[in-house]
Structure 1
Amino acid sequence: MSRRFRWLAAVVGLGLVVPLLPVTTAAAQEHATTAAPARAGEVRTIPDWRMQTSRTATAGGAAISRPGFNDVNWLKVPARSTVMAGLIANNRYPDLNYSTTMKQVDTAQFTVPWWYRKGFTADPAPGTHTFLKLNGGILARGEVWLNGTKIAGTDKVIGAYPTHEFDVTSLIRKGDNTIALRADSVNPDRDLTIHFIDWAQFPPDRNQGLFRDVALASSGAVSLRNLRVDSDLPLPSLANANITVKVDARNNTDQQQTAEVSGTVDGQSFRQTVSLGAKQTKTATFTVKLDNPRVWWPFQMGAQPLYEAALTATAGGAASDTARTTFGVREVESKLVQGGRQFSVNGKPFLVRGGGWASDLFLRTDLRKIEDQLKLTKAMGMNTIRLEGKPENDELYDMADRMGIMLLTGWECCSKWEKYDTFTAEDNRVAGESAESEARRVRNHPSMIGFLIGSDYAPPATQEKIYLDALKRAEWNLPVISSAKALSSPQLGSPGMKMEGPYWWVPPNYWYNKDKGGASGFASEVGPGPTVPELDSLKKFLSPNEINALTDYNAKQYHLAPSDTFSKLSFWGTALDGRYGKPANPEDLVRKAQLANYEVNRAQLEAFGRNWSDQDKPSTGVIYWMLNNAWPTMYWHLFDYNLATAGSYFGAKTAMRPLHVQYSYDDSSLAVMNTGLQDVSGLTVQATVFNLDGAQKADVSQPVTAKGNASVRAGTLPKPSGLSSTYFVRLLLKDSAGTVVDRNVYWLSTKADKLNYAASTWYHTPQTEYADLKGLNGLAQGSVTATASSTASGESASTTVTVTNNGGGGKVSFFLRASLRQGAGGAEVLPTTWSDNYVTLWPGESITLKADYRVADLNGKVPHVQLSGHNVPKSEVAAPLR
């Protein structure tokens, strides 16, 4: 049987990694196997499994884990595969993303344990020790068997995150061997596991099974574990750094051992002799000084150079084990500023403008999709991701290190994790093991910025001490925060974060009020709720009837949340009607949704940017709720499940441009935000006000210097008489040569949105009056021309399109969207990273947009750019690859 295996990434603290080879046993000819590590210092991750329900596999672990057990009728599943993910991989169900097909899944099958089984061959060299490693728990708890012997039971293997290592040297046989794992059913209200709360419809199996790697590792008499690296970067000079490297040397034998531990960092070598008693573990510590170190920064502030620490243990004159890790030289600190949590990186204050991460609903690992999502995040200008209760696999952290995206990790709300009064002694142990395991796993990544030991509730004294002791054992060296809500804890005190909502619709001016979820302090999870994608995307997961039902705001939508609070479009739709006019049909609703999504997302992130430099109640951070989707939904995302970018994404992208001019909804002030570290002088802000008919009502210019890592005010928008009830504002930021470096267009109303703050709930502030933007429905038809071209380089391609408003009489071409297509009228090419989109042009104006994508995603077709606008008919232009 032919089977391909990929090379695996290096594993910290475990040694060398070798390719996995397919082998066949006599007992089950179709069961592909892997060889166990044959020499010291090797690690092999189990590449795939066989999976079966215990209703069918009734023999028990002693029989199932013996070589020769017949599993040919079991399901073949990937290395990281929950039960549901395994069933999907075996095509047991139709597309579970579409409509309500997930309701067809019989949840009764997940009330019993499921078995995972893997055969492998071994030929261990004399003196080699073999270890079985679980890089996370079996959800929710399970058993581990090898060759008929139970290695660990449900009293040990429990919880999503604790790592385990078992010395199986005495159980390994020359020739055929078998591992069997039993995964019990999951109850998120009982188990310290993974829950999707109200982020999507629940996975039918509640993520029962495996979601991280199981590996076989080998070493000689002495193993190296828990390699950690700390950098001390004296501030503010950055002229040198002191690097501390630590590794645990463990004697695997019953005899005393003398090991030489040696290593290198940036070409500098070090070594140490370690004497170890029987089964003893000691920490070897090394220090290295780096002159003029290559300092690691978040991407908006600088570069992301990485160093490597590589260590070897030698015992008895032979290599015994290896360990290596990458790290970055940087300093992260945090403090409270007027009650708000402010982070700093390398001594520079760091305004967090981030989003909440959603893992795949079935916990599948799609490395290309993860990388695509991070690329979209960075291209949007978003500098931080919060991982609430769903810490990802190692690859995401590696990608974030390379891209310069900061990561804030921690536990989730609304499940067993925060039912502290129900914690048993076992729960306390698992909570501590979880914190220690996760902290050890991610501590070397320079992208990490902190650890939240609570989300909606700070842990009480007992659990807080458990977490802090666990983080201390892991030598966690970054800020620890009690919760994402303004609740003090016994030892950590105030978290400096607020969680006052909203989670559902609010108008743009909401964000400028510094109370509630507005732009002051650190808002740990806030957003305007519904983010309805474009029609191309909706058709991928909604039936025609479901699309037609979108105009019924009181109807429950399966692709909204399972909770009653967020299951309807409700007052989002009421506001859409009040502000833009009742949609005539679903297509009109989707079109107006992009306008609403764009303006409110831009306002949220612009408000936190503007108030960053305020003296009174400054903003210090915001986490947009949320960044992405676990499963296709119409709420809480900046790009959708299929990686399509719509109004929500480009409103946010506009707000977070590195040098950006913006309007303030509260006082009509203009501001310039600079995310770089250097001042930019010689700039001019030009503000022009237009009526809907194109008549220019005001035009003013203001010189400004954009201070580094700060925002500055740049005058006030004029308020001319005779404005139409809906009007436009165009802001241009120009350099000393007159070149436009930023462009921002607003559609505003002479009537303000009004909110009833006294009636606010935890998720919403009611709106009592609506801005009048209905004039947009009567815009005269605009006209544009476009030219496009494409180039390819290897697997990547770029298309540029230049769009010009050729209309006369002052006609605006409003909210133009460009999308890349597989041939004329073809499917949209996804993912595509656009330089800008949803742009507005006045007569004679041109703009050039660039799209980056993979050649393979054209599906062999000629790229076409499709243009459409609020008042511009749909058109296409070919852009053949050169």
Structure 2
Amino acid sequence: MRSRALPLVAVLALTLAVPAAVAEPVPGGGARFEVAAAPGDVSTVPDWRMQSGARATQGGAAISTTSYADTGWLTVPARSTVLAGLIANGKYPDVNHGENLKQVDRADFTVPWWYRKVFTASPRAGSHTFLRLDGGVIARGEVWLNGALVADSNTVVGAYPTHEFDVTRLLREGDNALAIRASSADPKTDLSIHFIDWAQLPPDFNQGLFRDVRFATGGPVSLRFPRATADLPLPSLASATVTVQVDARNNTDAPVTADVSATIGLTPLRQRVSLAAKETRTVTFTQDVDRPRVWWPFQMGEQPLYTAALEAAVDGVGSDAAATTFGVREVTSALVQGARQFTVNGKPFLVRGGGWASDLFLRTDVRKIEDQLKLVRGMGMNTIRLEGKPENDELYDLADRYGIMLLTGWECCSKWEDYASFDAEDNRVAGESAHSEARRIRNHPSLLGFLIGSDAAPPAALEKVYLDALERADWNLPVISSAKALGSPKLGPPGLKMDGPYWWEPPDYWYTKRLGGAFGFASEIGPGPTVPELDELKKFLRPADIAKLTDYNAPQYHLSPSTTFTKFSFWGTALDGRYGRPTSPEQFVRKAQLANYETNRAQFEAFGRNFSDASKPATGVIYWMLNDAWPKMYWHLYDYYLATAGSYFGAKTALRPLHVQYSYDDRSLAVVNTGLSDVPGLTVQATVFNLDGTVKADETRPVSARGNGSVRAGTLPQPGGLSSTYFVRLLLKDANGSVVDRNVYWLSTKADKLNYNASTWYHTPQTEYADLKGLDKLRAGQVAVTTSSAEGSTDVTLRNTGASVAFFVRATIRKGVGGPEVLPTDWSDNYVTLWPGESLTLQARYRAADLGGATPSVEVIGHNVSRVVR
């Protein structure tokens, strides 16, 4: 499939011009806000009053009047599901801690809930005001304004369809009242949102409002849905043809002529457009751009953004305005030996990403989203997959800025893939959902494509519904039938595989070209449990929960609600077999970091190495998952509180831009380069150490790194007389002898073995275990620590002053001596290993404000190194 890249369609710039809330009392409390009357202005409802339909029984005609007394109603944020609103009002103990979420009574959400807002309007003569729902209401909505029904629950249905209603004739000078009724939700029967087995489920099933409700004001002609495309000739990138389009809509019952202008660069373009009564017409502007600033994923180049501003005037008077930012870039995809291969600006793009989880209660915390994208970029990860959790606009805007690609689509295992149950309304809502989402996000340069199925491709009739909807939305990025091998009738095979695993596998699993091994495009795979450090566990586990961590057959509430993943099970068995049975929760957590680090590193390294395998190439891998919807101990690379542990740093090591690595299958060494240019004149130094630090082999060989690919650099030396557990240190040096990458492995003379014949959809059982128990016998290591702090940054220099290896040494920034860890912190590296005499400097970056006025303190501890505080 070849598809022109559609650059960024951003939120209308004017949606940021939200009038400040007026601190003035309204019936039942809260504050008024004013609907702006100037053409082009957009006002977002800043907060709501919320109440259960079991108590508010009067109906929309009464509740949407200004005289209705909403005493006892709760004030909730602008975007707030019912449960999110109740949590914000302190109705439950901390739902993240222990089993407190069980105290929320599901019966409270089997009835509708009402949202209500009193606001002030000053309608101008000749102006038109529209009520916008940026997404549907979960699961269905009734919309009332000033006692009149605007839309019923047969119209406002589903999580994603957007709606706009002309409410000009319903508005009054002065006070007005808006009410929205949200019906009960069930993800098995509604096209809404389901967290499946990703976390304990929200008891309200996300009933309510999770996106903005806005009022837009304009004149006789409105401008809607601006979009920009760039035709970028390849491979020169020397010029681009930019096309900007906008829908001009006549809001009146009579013909009208409008002057529509667009400014793409410095040159304004104008068109006169005649519109019949109520007619909508697409207005198109085209401009050639010489030497365009091309947008790239962050590892390949820069992320420049352009802006197109549009205005409409009637008889010389401004009627409406719109704007969109966009990037100049092109995305294509094709099947290469049966695997989906994406290209960006003509360059093959190896997807190495993770699966996104929205907040369990669909709360929007823009700072936390940005913090997460900084961690993603700091890790070196280039893609995020959104499976059925298309986020609000802020995520897409940030991804554009940070150069992180997004692969969106629908979710599995809910109504979305219960295709046999679809009726005419379901088909309509599914099509409206695809159309609305595609139209909302189509121009973001960070978009890679749209999966219209996850675990199962839609049947022919529904596939046509989706494809027709995407075509109406001018979606011209790749459309993929599903994330699984079986395709759909028209789109054909997706070129993606979903063969697991979802639970523990040892490092060598990823190198075998079977099931989830490093070939093709693996749409969701990972080794399961990813246990945070003990400081983090104490935030959400009770002492009794921590005490039972080593009981691998005990259900853990902060694992999955799925019976398949509710116990540590064979992950714990492998931990015992490989590292030795932990005798305490502290040992359990420490050894978990080792297991998380080594297998996560291997997963990403294997796909990186095999990207350049001509016989059976690896084209993409999505780690399952990236983040947490709710605090838990599996399927993440950083935890709910944005703490980074072994899982994160194993991946970060593998994803370094110029990286030397070891191969568990054939003992080869490889250099992987994510940059576009070759890097000649490098050397690889491979040193093999016994457990006691004795050097058993030390070899150096030259290598030239291939741009956007991998090369082999010989094999690891295989000396005799190795201890059963031993170390390997790989150093990649430039022409001046400076180290540009460093990678340390702990290996065994005994191999892990797998029984592929007994594989299930979620794992391949292990029959023998590598012997890494020698790590518990390491002599005590000694590390000298020096620190240097400035505003929002600390450098930590570690020097091994002892006679033995200092293994798996971790540094943390604390809010004063003995204080909690500063989160998030972006570390250049962590969990490092040093031999006698070696020094490493780690850089930490964080928000100075997060210190809370305390002086930053550094704590350092290792597998065989006692705690050091500086």
**Superposed pair shares fold, TM > 0.5:** yes
Residue in 2 aligned with 1:529? 528
Residue in 1 aligned with 2:660? 661
Q: Cα RMSD between the aligned structures?
A: 1.1
Q: 1:155, CA displacement in angstroms?
A: 0.3
Secondary structure of the structure 1 residue equivalent to 2:549: helix
Secondary structure of the structure 1 residue equivalent to 2:153: coil
8 Å CA contact 1:54–1:113 kept in 2: the answer is yes
Alignment of 1:541-556 (within 5 A): 541-556=540-555
Alignment of 1:72-111 (within 5 A): 72-111=71-110
Secondary structure of the structure 2 residue equivalent to 1:651: helix
Q: 2 CA distance for matches of 1:92 and 1:108?
A: 15
Secondary structure of the structure 1 residue equivalent to 2:693: coil
* 1:228-287 Cα distance to aligned partner (Å, 9 max, x none): 111000000000000011111000000100001001012121111100000011110110
Residue in 1 aligned with 2:201? 202
8 Å CA contact 1:37–1:218 kept in 2: the answer is yes
8 Å CA contact 1:505–1:571 kept in 2: the answer is yes
Of residues 803, 828, 841, the one that matches 2:834 is 841
Q: Is the alpha carbon distance of 1:694 and 1:17 closer, same or farther for their aligned partners in structure 2, counting shifts above 3 Å?
A: closer
Matched, 1:798 2:763: no
Alignment of 1:677-716 (within 5 A): 677-716=676-715
Q: Which amino acid aligns with 1:240?
A: S
Q: 2 CA distance for matches of 1:19 and 1:453?
A: 34
Residue in 1 aligned with 2:351? 352
Secondary structure of the structure 1 residue equivalent to 2:611: helix
8 Å CA contact 2:28–2:73 kept in 1: the answer is no
* 1:67-100 Cα distance to aligned partner (Å, 9 max, x none): 1111132100000000000000000111100000
Q: Which amino acid aligns with 1:807?
A: G
8 Å CA contact 1:13–1:224 kept in 2: the answer is no
Residue in 2 aligned with 1:123? 122
Q: Which amino acid aligns with 1:598?
A: Y
Q: 2 CA distance for matches of 1:679 and 1:267?
A: 37
Residue in 1 aligned with 2:817? 824
Residue in 1 aligned with 2:843? 850
Residue in 2 aligned with 1:314? 313
Q: Is the alpha carbon distance of 1:775 and 1:25 closer, same or farther for their aligned partners in structure 2, counting shifts above 3 Å?
A: closer
Secondary structure of the structure 2 residue equivalent to 1:32: coil
Matched, 1:720 2:719: yes
Residue in 1 aligned with 2:557? 558
Residue in 2 aligned with 1:812? 805
Matched, 1:622 2:621: yes
Q: 1 CA distance for matches of 2:265 and 2:316?
A: 26
8 Å CA contact 2:755–2:764 kept in 1: the answer is yes
Q: 1:27, CA displacement in angstroms?
A: 5.6
Q: Which amino acid aligns with 1:186?
A: A
Q: 1:317, CA displacement in angstroms?
A: 1.7
Secondary structure of the structure 2 residue equivalent to 1:596: helix
Alignment of 1:568-647 (within 5 A): 568-647=567-646
Q: Which amino acid aligns with 2:618?
A: S
Q: 1:19, CA displacement in angstroms?
A: 3.4
Q: 1 CA distance for matches of 2:61 and 2:22?
A: 23
* 1:815-848 Cα distance to aligned partner (Å, 9 max, x none): 0000111111111111101000000000110000
8 Å CA contact 1:12–1:323 kept in 2: the answer is no
Q: 2 CA distance for matches of 1:777 and 1:488?
A: 49
Q: Which amino acid aligns with 1:330?
A: R
* 1:767-807 Cα distance to aligned partner (Å, 9 max, x none): 00000000001000010101001111xxxx10001000011
Secondary structure of the structure 1 residue equivalent to 2:607: helix
Secondary structure of the structure 2 residue equivalent to 1:821: strand
Q: Give the number of equivalent residue pairs.
A: 863
Secondary structure of the structure 1 residue equivalent to 2:438: helix
Q: 2 CA distance for matches of 1:26 and 1:555?
A: 53
8 Å CA contact 2:10–2:443 kept in 1: the answer is no
Residue in 2 aligned with 1:5? none
Q: 1:14, CA displacement in angstroms?
A: 8.1
Secondary structure of the structure 2 residue equivalent to 1:349: strand
8 Å CA contact 2:25–2:32 kept in 1: the answer is no
Matched, 1:143 2:142: yes
* 1:278-303 Cα distance to aligned partner (Å, 9 max, x none): 00111101101000000000000000
Q: Is the alpha carbon distance of 1:27 and 1:409 closer, same or farther for their aligned partners in structure 2, counting shifts above 3 Å?
A: closer
Residue in 1 aligned with 2:256? 257
8 Å CA contact 1:14–1:224 kept in 2: the answer is no
Matched, 1:467 2:460: no
Secondary structure of the structure 1 residue equivalent to 2:578: helix
Residue in 2 aligned with 1:485? 484
Residue in 1 aligned with 2:669? 670
Alignment of 1:162-177 (within 5 A): 162-177=161-176
8 Å CA contact 1:14–1:321 kept in 2: the answer is no
* Range with greater deviation from structure 2 (120-129 or 628-637): 120-129
Q: 1 CA distance for matches of 2:316 and 2:655?
A: 57
Structure 1: stretches of 5+ with no match in the other structure:
1-9, 878-882
Q: 2 CA distance for matches of 1:59 and 1:24?
A: 28
* 1:414-450 Cα distance to aligned partner (Å, 9 max, x none): 0000001100100000000000000000011000000
8 Å CA contact 2:10–2:325 kept in 1: the answer is no
* 1:598-649 Cα distance to aligned partner (Å, 9 max, x none): 0000000000000000011100000000000000000000000000000000
8 Å CA contact 1:602–1:654 kept in 2: the answer is yes
Alignment of 1:62-81 (within 5 A): 62-81=61-80
* 1:692-740 Cα distance to aligned partner (Å, 9 max, x none): 0111000111100001000000000011000000000000000111100
Q: 1:170, CA displacement in angstroms?
A: 0.5
Residue in 1 aligned with 2:160? 161
Q: 2 CA distance for matches of 1:165 and 1:486?
A: 38
Q: 1:861, CA displacement in angstroms?
A: 1.1
Q: 1:182, CA displacement in angstroms?
A: 0.2
Matched, 1:405 2:404: yes
Q: 1:25, CA displacement in angstroms?
A: 6.7
Secondary structure of the structure 2 residue equivalent to 1:260: strand
Q: 1:106, CA displacement in angstroms?
A: 1.1
Q: 1 CA distance for matches of 2:23 and 2:326?
A: 40
Residue in 2 aligned with 1:880? none
Secondary structure of the structure 1 residue equivalent to 2:864: coil
8 Å CA contact 1:12–1:226 kept in 2: the answer is no
8 Å CA contact 1:485–1:495 kept in 2: the answer is yes
Q: 1 CA distance for matches of 2:468 and 2:26?
A: 48
Q: 2 CA distance for matches of 1:65 and 1:29?
A: 13
Residue in 2 aligned with 1:28? 27
Q: Which amino acid aligns with 1:200?
A: A
Q: 2 CA distance for matches of 1:415 and 1:19?
A: 36
* 1:290-341 Cα distance to aligned partner (Å, 9 max, x none): 0000000000000000000100000122100001011000000001111110
Residue in 1 aligned with 2:5? none
Residue in 2 aligned with 1:517? 516
Relative contact order, higher structure (CA 8 A, sep 6+):
2
Q: 1:17, CA displacement in angstroms?
A: 4.4
Residue in 2 aligned with 1:330? 329
Q: 2 CA distance for matches of 1:426 and 1:494?
A: 28
Q: 1:31, CA displacement in angstroms?
A: 2.7
Secondary structure of the structure 1 residue equivalent to 2:156: coil
8 Å CA contact 1:139–1:207 kept in 2: the answer is yes
TM-score (norm 1): 0.97
Residue in 1 aligned with 2:855? 862
Residue in 1 aligned with 2:285? 286
Structure 2: stretches of 5+ with no match in the other structure:
1-8
8 Å CA contact 2:827–2:842 kept in 1: the answer is yes
Q: 1 CA distance for matches of 2:437 and 2:16?
A: 22
8 Å CA contact 1:388–1:412 kept in 2: the answer is yes
